[in-house]
Amino acid sequence: MHINEQYHDLPLLETQTYQFIGREGEILTKEEQVLNEHLIDVYLNDQLTMKLICLPQHLTELVLGRLLTEHIIQSIDDVEQFYICEYGKRAKVYLKQSQTTDAKKNTSFVETTPTCCTGNHILNDYFSSDYPPVPVTPIEWKPEWIFHMADTFADGMPLHGVTFATHSCLLARRDEILFSCEDIGRHNALDKVIGYALRHQIDLTECMVYSSGRIPTDMAMKAIYAGIPVLSSKASPTTEAIELAKAYRLTLVCAARRDRMKVFSQV
């Protein structure tokens, strides 16, 4: 796959002035750093397919991860060329011919509304797929590996420390953290770590991820489609996500903090 990234160091934050009003009646004018929302249009074989609202950081990883978790591609080998413009506003992805044919087989498509509210939209039947989810292959894991990720998260993520407005996700293999990222939505952050693994040819079937956000079915399904055997989170799951994890042999660990965790599903 050939990658051509033209964008560099797009602004993530902007200083905004606000009026602070205290309970005792004090009124002050202050400033703080606020996140910038970014919109990127994603074209597949020159067809506008996705509009993603995100932070303008790790955009290639976001798009690659989203293509995998929406089962448009099965691996990085399905992508022939990848381009992002200098403003990070337009991504062009060219799939190999066989993958294009497979993606267009189905003509009926119903969009599923995700549990996040970041305004992401999908626009055509590239999202119809003949690739059903398959159970993940469990791995042996140790609680201290997840505690290590929880420690790293608790020690502070850069943008969250400034704005308290991001979700985070970490990618690890055993006790080694390979990548971490932040975004407005937890779905984007998970897609970014998946895309990072694709881009750097890291075997996701050997990895664990840690999310700062809650785990409903759509988050669990992203991990299943990516083949990730261990999904952990600082937050809580839904009943449906737990049942899904059990059905697809996904180890699901939630309320994972520095001193405790809850294992809801393991093989």
**Fold for the domain defined by 143-265:** Cytidine Deaminase; domain 2 (3.40.140)
- Provide the phi-psi class of 71: left if phi over 0, else alpha when psi is between -120 and 50, else beta: left
pLDDT above 60 for 103: no
Cα separation, 189 vs 54, in Å, equals 9
Q: Are 141 and 251 in contact (CB under 8 A)?
A: yes
Q: Are 212 and 153 in contact (CB under 8 A)?
A: yes
Average pLDDT estimate for 253-260: 98
Q: What is the pLDDT of residues 197-246, one digit of tens each?
A: 999 999 999 999 999 999 999 999 999 999 999 999 999 999 999 999 99
Q: Are 161 and 167 in contact (CB under 8 A)?
A: no
Report the chain's mean pLDDT, rounded to a whole number: 92
Q: Are 187 and 122 in contact (CB under 8 A)?
A: no
pLDDT above 90 for 37: yes
Q: What is the pLDDT of residues 137-188, one digit of tens each?
A: 999 999 999 999 999 999 999 999 999 999 999 999 999 999 999 999 999 9
Tokens found for residue 176: 């080694």
Q: Which of 180, 212, 175, 205 is nearest to 193 (CA)?
A: 180
Domain boundaries, the chain: 143-265
Strand partners, 41: 51, 90
pLDDT band at 107 (very low <50, low <70, confident <90, very high): very low
